[in-house]
Each structure stands twice: as C-alpha cells, then as structure tokens.
C-alpha cells in the first residue's frame, strides 16, 4: 500500500478465530467460556457506570490489591492490562528487545511470533516432541528470554510445576514468561515459584475461566522490579489501559469464588466426557488441561471435518500449519453444545 511503512508491509498479523455476527452457530472455535459471568460481576459493572465521567485509576489499584489478596502476594507484584495479549506484548520491549534470540515452541500461541516480528526481536523455535509434549531440557542458555504457554495452545498439553521450575532455574539470567491463560482448567500454576525466582513472569487472563473475554482484562505476577518495567512500557503507550467497567467487573470476579469454582469444575467435567465420546468415534485426542480439545481422525482430514461441521452450523478451529494441519481444536461449550457436536460428528464420519 502506498502509505504503509516497511514494518506494516512486512509483518503477518495474528488471525483470530472466526467471529460470525449473524448468529446461528454453535461456537466452539475461540475458547470462550460457555457460561455467563457471575451475577456479582454484572452488578459491579452497573454500579461503575455512575463514575464514567472520571478517568479510571492508571494502575487499577483496587484490582491489583484484590488479585494480590487472592494469590497471597504483595500488590507491587501485580500488573494489570487490557487482556493478557497486551501484557504479553509489553513483555517484548520490557524484557527482550536488543537481547539474544528468545525461545518459544514451534507449535504454540502464534502471537509470540507476531510480537517478535513487530518488535524486531530475534527468536528461535524449540520443537515439540512427536506427541506434542514440551521438551523442557531444550530451553537452555544462551537466550534473551523464554515464553512458554502452560497449558500449551493449541494442544492443551501441560507441564508439571517441577518441569516449569527446571526451565526457570536453568535460565536465571533470562526473563521467563509463563503464559497461563488456561491454567484454571487443571494445570499447575507457577505462582508458588515467585518467591524463589526473580526472573519469572506469570501472565493470566480473565477471558477464559472467568467468562470475561468481552471485558478484556489480564494480569501479570512477578517481582516488583519486573512489574515496574511493565508499568514503564504501559505508560509509554497509554496510561489508562483498563476502563472503570473492566476494573469493577474484574474485581468482582475474584470475589465470587463459589461461582468461579463451580463453572470451572463443570467445564472440566464436560471436557472429559467429550474427550471420551470423541475417542469412541475413532479420534486421537491429546490429554488436555485447557478448556479445549486437540484431536485428529485417521479416516477424515481435519480440514474436511472443519468444513463439514461448519456446514451444519458448528464452528471449530482448523490450523493450516505444518505438523498440525490434520488436527482440529474444539472449545468446550455447554453439555448440550458438546452432545450436538458428537451427534454431528457421528453422522459426518459415518457418511
């Protein structure tokens, strides 16, 4: 394009899952929570509407305090932002720019590569094993930093806490970012490691397990020095990344623990039931600790499965990429959503 910079011309932006606006689909393609937010969240947002004429607090102090209490850490160890994607982006200029190549897996959240190109950060991809397990021993120095999604996306495979600690301990001169977007669905969080390792940054989101994808709230946990670095980057872009409604709703989501625990348990149960049903249909399904399943079928190509399901009103995610182009990712919906999926697949595969 005539007025584009060289940077804009060269980058390949992240491509999100389909977001049809006409309705009529069972939407199992973007890992959204099938349940609504807590009623306490809705009430808190309604109350916050009375203060919309005022700018929000730049560091969202009340939300940081709430998150700190929830995890038993100090508020100065908490950073909040406009979804975990924004925080992951801030990590690049805060910790990686101008250093040796960073490391991340060859099959993982594709935004890591997009951000690397955007911020001119060199990177090296660490291959997953043939069964899609992460090889922790392959993350060795020298490097300029490491990003690991745990559980990984789009596979759902998780590392144990001991495996994460080994990576952090073996790379003490680098910042290790552990992206825990899906940790609440059965994984082991690295939060207990924060008191031991000053090079660890944990990033989480409220989009998945707390049903707030539309509110856009994420947070990072780390030692105060690393949190200060993120704050300096934020304030060089936008001092007000979270609006008052997002702050109020996010804070309330941590206060309603009963609702959070109940919906999380239900999603895990539906996930396991669905995985079993898919295996009975001849699918190979990876063990998942996320709110999605990664699967393949020996008798039908993944792209064909995706297209046939879309034709009957069910959206799943297909990745036309090396090593995973014969797999599909299926978000966990309601119990009825997943029953409808299994019925549709039985007809498609039978046909």
pLDDT for position 184: 98
- Residue 290: pLDDT over 80: yes
By three-state DSSP, how is residue 164 classified?
A: helix
Length of the chain: 351
Q: What is the pLDDT of residue 260?
A: 98
Determine whether domain 39-255 maps to CATH 1.10.490.20: no
The pLDDT of residue 17 is 78
Evaluate if residue 77 carries a pLDDT over 80. Answer: yes
Express each pLDDT in 84-120 by its tens digit. Answer: 999 999 999 999 999 999 999 999 999 999 999 999 9
Q: What is the rounded average pLDDT for all residues in the chain?
A: 96
248, 250, 256, 257 alpha-carbon torsion, rounded to 10°: -160
Binning pLDDT at 50, 70 and 90, where does residue 186 land? very high
pLDDT of residue 288: 98
Q: Is 317 helix (H, G, I), strand (E, B) or coil?
A: strand
> DSSP of 198-212, one letter per residue?
TTEEEEEESSSTTS-
The predicted structure's pLDDT at residue 15: 79
**DSSP secondary structure, 90-156, as one string:** HHIIIIITTSSPEEEESSS-THHHHHHHHTT--EEEEPPPTT----GGG--SS-S-EEEESS-TTT-
Split at pLDDT 50, 70, 90, the class of 28 is very high
pLDDT at 351: 56
Q: Is the pLDDT of residue 341 over 70?
A: yes
Buried b (16+ CB within 10 A) or exposed e, 143-166: bbbbbbbbbbbbbbbbbebebbbe
Q: Residue 232 has what DSSP assignment?
A: H
Domain 17-36+261-350 bears CATH identifier 2.40.110.10: no
- What pLDDT digit, counting tens, does each position of 294-334 carry? 999 999 999 999 999 999 999 999 999 999 999 999 999 99
- What phi, psi does 54 have (nearest 5°)? -100, 145
Backbone angles phi, psi at 104, to 5 degrees: -155, 165
Asked if residue 215 has pLDDT above 80, the reply is yes
| pLDDT reported for residue 24 | 83
Domain residue spans of the chain: 17-36+261-350, 39-255
In this prediction, what percent of the chain has a pLDDT beyond 90? 93
Q: What residues pair up with 328 in beta bridges, in sequence order?
A: 295, 318
User: Has this prediction a pTM greater than 0.75?
Assistant: yes
> What backbone phi and psi angles, to 5 degrees, belong to 295?
-145, 160
pLDDT in tens, 121-163: 999 999 999 999 999 999 998 999 999 999 999 999 999 999 9
| DSSP H or E run through 291 | none
């Amino acid at each position: 394009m005539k007025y584009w910079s060289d940077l804009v011309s060269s980058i390949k932006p992240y491509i999100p899952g389909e977001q049809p606006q006409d309705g009529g689909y069972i939407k199992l393609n973007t890992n959204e929570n099938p349940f609504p937010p807590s009623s306490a969240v809705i009430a808190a947002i309604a109350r916050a509407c009375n203060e919309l004429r005022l700018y929000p607090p730049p560091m969202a102090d009340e939300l940081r305090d709430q998150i700190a209490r929830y995890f038993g850490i100090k508020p100065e160890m908490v950073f909040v932002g406009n979804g975990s994607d924004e925080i992951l982006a801030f990590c690049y200029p805060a910790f990686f720019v101008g250093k040796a190549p960073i490391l991340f897996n060859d099959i993982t959240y594709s935004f890591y590569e997009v951000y690397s190109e955007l911020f001119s950060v060199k990177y090296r991809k660490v291959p997953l094993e043939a069964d899609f397990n992460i090889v922790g021993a392959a993350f060795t120095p020298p490097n300029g930093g490491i990003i690991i999604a745990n559980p990984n996306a789009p596979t759902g495979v998780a590392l144990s806490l001991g495996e994460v600690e080994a990576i952090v301990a073996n790379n003490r001169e680098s910042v290790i970012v552990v992206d825990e977007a899906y940790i609440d669905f059965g994984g082991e969080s690295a939060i207990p490691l924060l008191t031991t390792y000053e090079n660890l940054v944990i990033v989480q989101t409220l989009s998945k397990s707390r049903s707030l994808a539309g509110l856009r709230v994420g947070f990072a946990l780390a030692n105060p020095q690393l949190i200060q670095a993120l704050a300096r980057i934020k304030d060089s872009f936008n001092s007000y990344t979270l609006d008052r409604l997002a702050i109020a709703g996010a804070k309330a989501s941590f206060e309603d623990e009963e609702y959070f625990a109940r919906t999380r348990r239900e999603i895990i149960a539906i996930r396991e039931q669905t995985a079993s049903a898919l295996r009975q249909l001849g699918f190979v399904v990876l063990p998942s600790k996320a709110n999605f399943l990664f699967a393949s079928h020996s008798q039908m190509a993944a792209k064909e499965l995706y297209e046939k399901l879309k034709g009957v009103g069910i959206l799943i995610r297909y990745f036309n990429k090396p090593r995973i182009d014969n797999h599909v990712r299926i978000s966990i919906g309601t119990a009825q959503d997943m029953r409808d999926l299994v019925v549709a697949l039985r007809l498609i595969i039978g046909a």
